[in-house]
Structure 1
């Protein structure tokens, strides 16, 4: 102890004296120096307990190796070592787990991991699939103390979730419903990690690639092309049907309407003819001869209205007057609506004398009337 005091006294400027007074002064100086050293050491030890929690981090304080508290962002203090220590965890950092491949940051490419990528589907087909899972820490305490190797645990849980979802799905379902497969893997993986109390939250699950193994890829591509051709032809047929069926229905409706119209007009015409016949029959009962004569005249009017006529005036001698009435009427109709009687027609009408019942006698027979009019 004396030698230690002497060294401390020499360190802080103490001197060796020859008398008792010198020894007393040296002892006092040594005591002051030792106290100062202890004070400085204690201050440094206490100051070592200050730490800063950065934005996005959480500080987990361990007291004798056991969790004491979780601190937020800012300047914090804990009991210095060996009493307490702090573990800082970034809870906002998004990390990525890769299944079926590993990215090469230097070359920018990736390396396949067939052990993870090859999986069996529900319909007993082998598929080569790759997934990327993004997660972040939601509970710093669970992440630090519930599992020993967090990344390995998450990787194995992800592979297990992918195999379970793919094993419940057919090969076509995996290829055609990527979003549903990704959602199923995300839900299953979160359930597994929560049961392990890993303390992470799955942010996103993305299927990077899904294809058959290289040995059967050519045959599978042919099957895919055939399926695509089938869908294309099916869509074309549906489009053709959507175009033809409405037009056919429209044509059928139009024909039905025309048939209904024809039916209505035919029935109306038949009913009119029946009423006319009934009226004529009543008149015939009253005056048979007059009725027959009138019917004959009306019939001849209808016949002669559509034929070429030649009138011969017996009183004028052999002069023959030809009136092309059908051509004149047809030309007038083609020229436009007739507003007045054409001069030619009026002159011809004046040239033909009207028929009088007294000229030939009231009792002239039907044969005599036919002789007066010649029909070509």
Structure 2
């Protein structure tokens, strides 16, 4: 199979603090996009992982970036500058460990998430509490339970919600982890059937080497947890007060409503498996839902193939907007990377952009 490349058309800038703009509209709905660049001064801002190790402050003014170079970089989003660099260490009594994500809670504590542990740091990083994740340290877990990497923190900052899977990497439901009580409450429901057709396996010489699926999405919206997959045009809502599950299905006029089930999902080599997964990218992929507290609306970006140019694939990006009850309001193509890191600040949606290896954002404002 020919090598596939991914192309997106994005507005770019080439000077610190500058902006470029574009507009798109459909009926009464309008999107304006300004692309801004963060001034790093004489420093280098870490964003090679697409801002996967980041957290937004409660006042939406600062973006915290955890760098594997053992430092936390704090971006001032109002002045568009690198504001502060705080050195960290992996080992020792104040070590961050091998963390894959960070959170900021309501009190300003920094929380580092690892695959088998969570570390709670004070806001000035002067103290740390370490909690292990596993059936040996938490009651309510089975030894075969496996946690995913998408985690949401409860409003009280004490408990975490996370998707749990079985040993075959099939998601089984949600788990609420209380570190104070060292307990896990599992909330099982049917999600495995929505994921199983899209699990890819590497089998070499008759031995299963690995298996997995694309990451699922988890979002906390008021008193609801929203779970979704990249495969279907729907949202699974879990009401935290009523403990009920509701499935909302949507219809798109611009894409298919589900990713086609692949004919083959097993590869006998790394290259064969990679080719199978690259072929799957030619069909629709749904992104996570993003909630804007200011407008009480929910936004989602999806990706679908627009056309092929030689060995390259050109994708289109589709924005869908819902009200707080998940009634679909708008569906429109926009020139923003649908799968990049995004967050809301003051009612505007910020989307990560790599501008010639510098940190930038496409800042979107919506008018209805």
What TM-score, normalized by structure 1, do the two folds share? 0.17
Greater RCO (Cα-Cα under 8 Å, separation 6 or more):
2
What TM-score, normalized by structure 2, do the two folds share? 0.18
Bigger strand fraction: 2
Bigger helix fraction: 1
Larger Rg: 1
